Structure formats: C-alpha cells, structure tokens
Amino acid sequence: MGDFKDLKVYQKSYNLAMEIFFISKSFPSEEKYALTSQIRRSSRSVSRSIAEGYRKRRYPNHFISKMSDADMENSETQVSLDFACSCGYITEGENRKLQSISEEVGKMLYHMMTYPEKYQARGTN
C-alpha cells in the first residue's frame, strides 16, 4: 500500500480545503478570526488527520481514532459552509458543490473506520 497522498480520500479532502481557502479569501474582514480561520482550520484538519492515521495504520484503534477525528472536522467544515451560505458569503450553488465533496469524504472516512483492516500495512497483524 502506498503513501497517504495516494488515498482518494486524502486527495479529495486536500482539494476541498484548497477550494475553501480560495473561496474564503472573499469573506469580510470582520469574519477573519471567526468563520474564515475556523473553516480553514477544520477543512485542513481533515487531511492532516488522514495523514496521521495512515502512518499509524498498523494500530487499528489509533487508525480508527484519527479517521474519526477527520470525520469530526469534516462535519465542522460542513456547518461552517452552511454559515457562510446563510451569511451570503458563498452562493447556494457553491455550498451545494462543496457540501457534496465533503459528504463524499465523509463516506470514505466511514468506510475506513468500519474496515480498518483494508488499510493495514502489509506484514502486520
């Protein structure tokens, strides 16, 4: 099994975080320390947790815990996207698109938590 960067879930979560970064550049300055920094932090944490967990995949409980952390951050990102849409910082269409990607990431994370053995490093038991 390759590097964490080869995982589709990592690639999707990383690309989502980058899209959120660029779209959040247009958020008003009064949101700098509230919504803007929060949505950037949570969206980036998804990829970070995936990378950390993948490096510890020989320990199933740790792996599951880190994928759960990633899922939690992914959910937090979804709430922040809803706030951004409700506040008029992103359009309904942008929100739907980003939410769809986030939901896909969530489904992949759920699979990883449910079947950690499929991601276990070779030669470990």
Give domain status of residue 12, yes or no: yes
- Asked if residue 52 is part of any domain, the answer here is yes
Question: Which CATH number characterizes residue 70's domain?
Answer: 1.20.1440.60
In a domain, 56, yes or no: yes
DSSP labels, 20-45: HHHHHTTS-GGGIIIIIHHHHHHHHH
55 close to 76: Cβ distance less than 8 angstroms:
no
pLDDT > 70 fraction of the chain, expressed in percent and rounded? 96
pLDDT of residue 79 exceeding 60: yes
pLDDT one-digit tens code per residue, 16-55: 999 999 999 999 999 999 999 999 999 999 999 999 999 9
Predicted confidence (pLDDT) per residue in 80-99, tens digit = 999 999 999 999 999 999 99
Of all residues in the chain, what percent carry a pLDDT higher than 90?
A: 93
Residue 108 in any domain: the answer is yes
Domains identified in the chain, total number? 1
Rounded Cα distance between 41 and 114, Å, is: 26
Residue 50 counted as domain residue:
yes
Within a domain: 123:
no
User: Tokens for 91?
Assistant: 């359009």
Is this model's pTM higher than 0.85 or not? yes
13: left (phi over 0), alpha (psi -120 to 50) or beta: alpha
Cα distances (Å, whole numbers) of residue 3 to 7, 26, 42, 51, 114: 7, 34, 22, 9, 20
d(CA 25, CA 56): 34
Q: What is the mean pLDDT of residues 3-27?
A: 97
Query: Quick check: is 97 in a domain?
Result: yes
What is the pLDDT, as a whole number, of residue 120? 86
Q: What pLDDT, on a 0 to 100 scale, did the predictor assign at position 122?
A: 67
Q: Which domain holds residue 40?
A: 4-115
- Tell me if 121 is assigned to some domain: no
